[in-house]
Amino acid sequence: MSSFAFSVLFVVFLLLTLSLRTWLAARHIRHIGRHRASVPAEFAPKVPLAAHQKAADYTVAKTRLGLIGTLWGAIVLIGFTLMGGLQLLSLAILPFTGPGLLHQLVLVVAFAVIASVLDLPLDWYRQFVLEQRFGFNKMTPGLWWGDLVKSTFVGALIGLPLLWVVLKLMEASGQLWWLYTWFVWSGFQLLMIAFYPTVIAPLFNKFTPLADVSLKQRIDGLMTRVGFASRGLFVMDGSKRSAHGNAYFSGFGRAKRIVFFDTLLSRLEPQEIEAVLAHELGHFKLRHIVKRVATMFAISLAFLALLGYLKGQAWFYTGLGVLPFMNASNDGMALILFMLVLPVFTFVLAPLGSITSRKHEFEADAFAAQHTDHRDLVSALVKMYEDNASTLTPDPLHSAFYDSHPPASVRVKRLTMAAA
The whole-angstrom distance between residue 398's C-alpha and the CA centroid of its chain comes to 17
More confident residue, 270 or 194: 270
Domains of the chain: 3-185+315-340 (no CATH), 203-290+353-419 (3.30.2010.10)
Of 175-179, 259-263, 415-419, least confident by mean pLDDT is: 415-419
Check pLDDT > 80 for residue 252.
no
* pLDDT average, residue stretch 117-125: 95
Nearest to 414 by CA among 372, 371, 358: 358
pLDDT at 31: 95
Check pLDDT > 80 for residue 303.
yes
Check pLDDT > 80 for residue 231.
no
More confident residue, 76 or 192: 76
Would you please indicate which residues are annotated as catalytic (active-site) residues?
A: 280, 365
Spatial distance between the Cα atoms of 339 and 387, rounded to a whole number of angstroms: 35
More confident residue, 250 or 104: 104
Check pLDDT > 90 for residue 28.
yes
Nearest to 58 by CA among 404, 387, 410, 405: 387
Task: State pLDDT tens for residues 208-227.
Answer: 888 888 888 888 888 888 88
Check pLDDT > 90 for residue 266.
no
Of 20-34, 75-89, 137-151, 207-221, least confident by mean pLDDT is: 207-221
The whole-angstrom distance between residue 129's C-alpha and the CA centroid of its chain comes to 22
- Band (pLDDT 50/70/90 cuts) for residue 414 is confident
Q: Is 208 helix (H, G, I), strand (E, B) or coil?
A: strand
Q: pTM, whole model, 2 decimals?
A: 0.88
Nearest to 394 by CA among 408, 373, 376: 408
pLDDT at 405: 85
* pLDDT average, residue stretch 61-84: 96
| CB-count burial class (<10 Å; 0-12, 13-18, 19+) for 278 | buried
Of 16-20, 26-30, 102-106, 272-276, least confident by mean pLDDT is: 272-276
pLDDT at 244: 79
Q: State which amino acid sits at residue 50.
A: A
Check pLDDT > 90 for residue 256.
no
pLDDT at 238: 83
Check pLDDT > 90 for residue 34.
yes
Q: How many helices (H) and strands (E) does the chain have?
A: 17, 4
47 contacts 392 by C-beta, under 8 angstroms: yes
Task: State pLDDT tens for residues 349-402.
Answer: 989 888 888 899 999 999 998 888 888 988 888 888 887 888 889 999 999 898
Check pLDDT > 70 for residue 420.
no
Highest mean pLDDT among 10-14, 201-205, 248-252, 376-380: 10-14
Of 62-66, 172-176, 180-184, least confident by mean pLDDT is: 172-176
Check pLDDT > 70 for residue 253.
no
Task: State pLDDT tens for residues 129-146.
Answer: 999 999 888 889 999 999
